[in-house]
Amino acid sequence: MSRKSQIHIAAVIKVVLLCVSVIGIWYVYKNWVIRKKDKLRMLELRERFTQANDKITRLFNFEKYFSFREEQHFFNEFKDLRKKIPSDINRLDLAEDFSVIIQNFVNTYDDATLVREQYNNQFIKKEAAAFAYLFNQLEDYPLSEDQIEAIVRDEDNNLVIAGAGTGKTTTISGKVAYLLEKGLAKPEELLIISFTKNAVNEMYERCLKFCKHIPDANNLDVRTFNSFGYLVRRHCSETELHLAFDGDDQAAKAFLQETFDKMFLTDADFQKKAVNFIAFFNRPERDEFEFETRNAFLKHEQSFKNITLDGNKVNSKEEMEIGNFFCLHGLNYEYQKHYPLQPEDRQADYSSYHPDFYLTDHEIWHEHFGINRDGSVPSWFKTKPPYPTGKDYYQAGIKWKEQIHAKYGQTH
């Protein structure tokens, strides 16, 4: 390579290095300017960050429950502040105390839902201990942990699902006592609603018992749903209202019957829906598998009359619904018509055969089997030797019936 070429290459390299240096210096300067602006912006927001952290301190000071509404308010109040924090904030070389403030805000804001849940779980435990003196003297027996949690958990909306006799009245009355004792509400600010007058009277008496040491506890407003609705309607109406039927239940029933009869005869859509309801939904649902004994099931069934729309008395709710279906669709049938068997098909294990339904116009036999989707039967179904279980015995009967219909060539 000639000396001239070497000089040319060296010159090119110098130019390239100069360009790279200029670009590098420009890049460093630009980032320095950006960092300076970001740092200045953060410093200008210091008071706002301090306000946010003060709010966080108040929300997590274990003086009150942190509700979902407060979480949403926190999000909305500081969402603009969160957006102004650069992702690479650590490069701004902020003072350590200021960096801690910002990081605390970011951690709380970004994980607020989880942090709120963890805080509330701790709050419930602390509150249960702090108000143990109140909870322990409400009843002769100590409240359960679930009852105490239901009392202390002060969410915007609280749904407590509990069966009969599990202490719902005690829990609600205990919550009233807790709210008043802690100063979260005044007696006149609370509304307690129940379904019946007896429940309302019991609730009011229980609340007064639990709140006997609280001034003006007798100002608690405990009402039925109807009473509260009437109160609201009366105060919101321009004219005075009067209670329908003057509280006469018989007059109310007569009005409902008269209205039903009128709509049934004049409104085809209502008539269709009413007939459908009477035919298929006029008694509570029940699952045979929920009963532990045959006697329990029979006692339940005997409390209802299984009579089809065309007047046939049948043995079960399901048979009544099947009979009603046939009736509504104009299918003539006989209930438990005797099925004639040849001598060789008569077995000692089974009595004379009476299928549930026989569609007379179509010569179709209809059997209803008391099994679930996997072929199981309720545990209280009886059995006979040599069948070890009620399921085995019942399934053998199903198989025998299917074989009979197949042999006789009849639809079933």
Residue list, annotated binding site for ATP: 162-169
DSSP 8-class letter at 313: B
Burial of 175 (0-12, 13-18, 19+ CB in 10 A): buried
Interatomic CA distance for residues 397 and 387, integer angstroms? 11
Four-residue CA torsion sign, 315, 321, 325, 330:
positive
- The angle at the Cα of 339, spanning 338 to 342, to the nearest 5 degrees, equals 130
Interatomic CA distance for residues 61 and 236, integer angstroms? 41
User: Can you tell me which residue has the tokens 């199903």?
Assistant: 398
Interatomic CA distance for residues 238 and 13, integer angstroms? 94
Question: How crowded is the C-beta side of 374, counted as CA atoms within 13 Å?
Answer: 3
User: Can you tell me which residue has the tokens 């339904």?
Assistant: 357
Q: What are phi and psi of 334, to 5 degrees?
A: -115, 140
SS3 of residue 240 by DSSP: coil
SS3 of residue 210 by DSSP: helix
Alpha-helical (H) ranges within 283-380 are 294-302, 317-328
Closest CA to 365 of 399, 330, 404, 393: 404
User: Can you tell me which residue has the tokens 């429950």?
Assistant: 65
Closest CA to 81 of 58, 50, 114: 50
DSSP states of 41-52 as a string?
Answer: HHHHTHHHHHHH
Distances in Å between the Cα of 132 and the Cα atoms of 86, 173, 226, 245, 381 are 47, 16, 36, 48, 50
* Known binding positions: 162-169
Interatomic CA distance for residues 290 and 26, integer angstroms? 80
CB of 71 within 8 A of CB of 112? yes
Q: Is the peptide bond before 386 cis (omega within 30 degrees of 0)?
A: yes
User: Can you tell me which residue has the tokens 């205990």?
Assistant: 174
Alpha-helical (H) ranges within 84-111 are 96-110
